[in-house]
Amino acid sequence: MLESAPDAILLTWELPDAEGPDLLRKWTANTTLETIPILMLTSHDEPDKILKALDSGAFDFLRKPPDRLELHARIRNAVRIKALHDELRRLASRDPLTGLLNRRAFMDQLDQELARSRRYGRDFALAIIDVDHFKRINDTAGHDIGDLALVQLSQHLTRSLRQVDVVARYGGEEFIVMLPETVPSRATMVLNRLRSGMQDVNWGNAEHPLSVTFSSGVSCFTGGHTPNATVLIKHADVALYRAKNLGRNRVELAVENKLSEDLEAEGVDVGVGVDVGVETKSGRLRPEPDHPDQD
């Protein structure tokens, strides 16, 4: 039961080795069950018993034996309310324009995937994708065409990636992708395939045809030696800005050992998350834009 995801649960108060409210408290502490309505069935009708059941997390309370019509009505009501809550949670986790995961939802999944990679010693890759000259697209073609390009790009990414990969809108014209169990060579190949797949495609509409390219920075860690999410993203961010400075429309792989050595040489602990856009003795690791349109 704890591993399933039913629409509702009927739980009796009288159990062989426990009371329903005790089990209910354990269930509602489980994140996979906390949103499932649980209806408590009991022969008790004392107000303090009802209060105890509701305080333990019960959605509703019915006396045994329940009337068949009342039971069906209360179950339907519980399922209907759960469906509304599920939809609200879905909307809260999605980017309204593209329908992809939003940044917060992605970061929650990223933490879970990183923990899994560490636990089982698996490879892991992350990529940040940034649409080249997006400000210019908005200024010349209009924001509606810019939005259309972002929607079509999100669909292109979703179609082209594996089911286990996760893509989200990271902000503005940036997207972020996690690639579990992916080695560096495979990750760069995947990103280059995504990039080359954008050629000869109209990313606008019939009235405003548009060519779009992107630059990407990829950060990979092997054998489960995965840092926290902040460091992983910073590595990819450095690689992205290197791709921008080298002419855009390209994929760059973060040099894990070199970046870690550079940061540690400056007295920065790369194991707890750092801002790599700081001045160091060897220069600025994240280059400043050379003009306002560098995007």
Q: Catalytic residue positions? A: 173
Nearest to 226 by CA among 133, 119, 143: 119
Compute the Cα dihedral for 220, 222, 227, 228 and give only its sign.
positive
Tokens of 196: 């080359």
Amino acid making up residue 198: M
| Alpha-carbon 240 to chain mean position | 20
Length of the chain in residues, anyone? 295
Tokens of 153: 């790009």
Tokens of 234: 């910073």
- Quickly list DSSP for 204-264: S-SSS-----EEEEEEEE-TT----HHHHHHHHHHHHHHHHHTTSS-EEE--HHHHHHHHH
Amino acid making up residue 154: S
CA distance 257 to 127: 17
